[in-house]
Amino acid sequence: MTVGTHLRRNLIRAGILLLVVAVAWSGWQAFRVWRAWRNVERLPFNVVDAREALGQQGTIGVIDTAPTTAPTEGGEEIEVPGTLPPDVTLPTSPRLAPEALQAFLVIGSDQRPQLGSGGRADVIVLILLPADGADPVMVSIPRDLYLPNPCTGGYTRINATLNGCGQAATGPELLSVAVEDFTGVEIDHFAVFDFEGFKAIVDRVGGVDICVDHPVRDSKTDPPLDLPAGCSRADGAMTLSWVRSRHTKELVDGVWRAMPGVNDLTRNQRQQELLLEALGRLKAFRSITEFSALVEELSDAFAIDDHLSLGAAIGLAWDMRGINVASIRRPTIPAATYITEAGAYVLLPQASFAEVLESAYPGAAAIVAEG
């Protein structure tokens, strides 16, 4: 055997060994992702079946004249259906062609919704990905928006629909039905996180930057909101307080005063900024290894619908890395304060969702389907 022949054989063996190692490594990484996603909680999600079940139980169209909120034995307030006077009409939207876009609901709640009661939705963000590759759309749906509740037939704040409707619909299903009825958009998938999961996600990406002109605080949040003037890298707990703060105060000329313009719409803006920053952080994940580690660590921080496959989820996450955050369209649902018959302050939409979408995409009516 010549030296050249011996060398070639060794090179071939080394090449085969490297190939085996590469295949084994890729397989291990794929297994890590699969194992992590197996640990992610899946919630039943079938809006079509939920609609049928809601109709069969005969709640649709039954108007309950009870007040908007009522105390429970524990002293908490629960949402009960109310009405609108005959002279108040809510704007409606035609159905959008399902094939024209993919629609995702991002839901944040003080509880993880199971099959039954799931608390109220504190964050409701609708993300639309047009099928033609046009810029994505991100729309916050105010939690206090006063709309028909598909479970009761009366009117409630939309955040109350996350409680579900007994055996007829889970929380995400009932919320999706309400969102579809208002927007005309067919919901394809959802992701829901509770507050602990929210904090874990923020901490895992290294915190987020929050910038304010003056020092701000809110003693009613947990933990109390406390940020200095300028930009701060906030951890998950402080970020949650910032997003949820409804009584934000700022220090101006040595005096603490209520921060002007703080309302549900302000909180929606904060939520969107947070999601956009988190989306921007996806670009930092350069390999499947890093992504696997992220999924493994956060697998118990959120829940998704049971129709979102592993491949689709990974593909979507990787596609989102290529999106220019600045290109995302962010229209606002105009709303006005309305006082219910029980004296509760809620919000009424002042434009149809078709008009809201048109403000983001002039000519968007081209994707509107009849019916």
Same domain, 148 and 212: no
Host domain of residue 280: 41-198+270-367
In sequence order, what are the residues at sequence separation of 6 or more whose Cβ sits closer than 8 angstroms to the Cβ of residue 202? Answer: 208, 234, 235, 236, 239, 240, 274, 278
Q: Give tens-digit pLDDT for 93-115.
A: 888 888 888 899 988 887 654 44
340 occurs within a structural domain: yes
CA 224 from centre of chain: 24
Provide the pLDDT for residue 72: 37
Task: Determine if the peptide bond prior to 223 is cis (ω within 30°).
Answer: yes
Provide the pLDDT for residue 116: 42
Provide the pLDDT for residue 159: 92
Provide the pLDDT for residue 25: 57
In sequence order, what are the residues at sequence separation of 6 or more whose Cβ sits closer than 8 angstroms to the Cβ of residue 265? Answer: 140, 142, 332, 335
21 occurs within a structural domain: no
Phi, psi of 233 (to 5 degrees): -85, 105
Provide the pLDDT for residue 111: 65
Provide the pLDDT for residue 273: 80
Q: Which two tokens stand for residue 85?
A: 């006077």
- From residue 58, give the alpha-carbon distance in Å to each of 45, 78, 149, 154: 21, 22, 13, 13
Same domain, 274 and 128: yes
Same domain, 134 and 228: no
Provide the pLDDT for residue 150: 93
Same domain, 86 and 152: yes
Provide the pLDDT for residue 197: 77
Same domain, 53 and 178: yes
Same domain, 284 and 358: yes
Low-confidence ranges of the chain (pLDDT < 70): 1-8, 10-15, 17-37, 57-80, 111-119, 281-289, 291-293, 295, 310-311, 314, 318, 321, 364-371
Coil, helix or strand for 334? coil
Same domain, 193 and 330: yes
- From residue 312, give the alpha-carbon distance in Å to each of 194, 285, 305, 306, 339: 23, 18, 12, 12, 43
Residue type, 195: F
235 occurs within a structural domain: yes
Same domain, 311 and 230: no
DSSP class of residue 82 equals: B
Provide the pLDDT for residue 139: 92
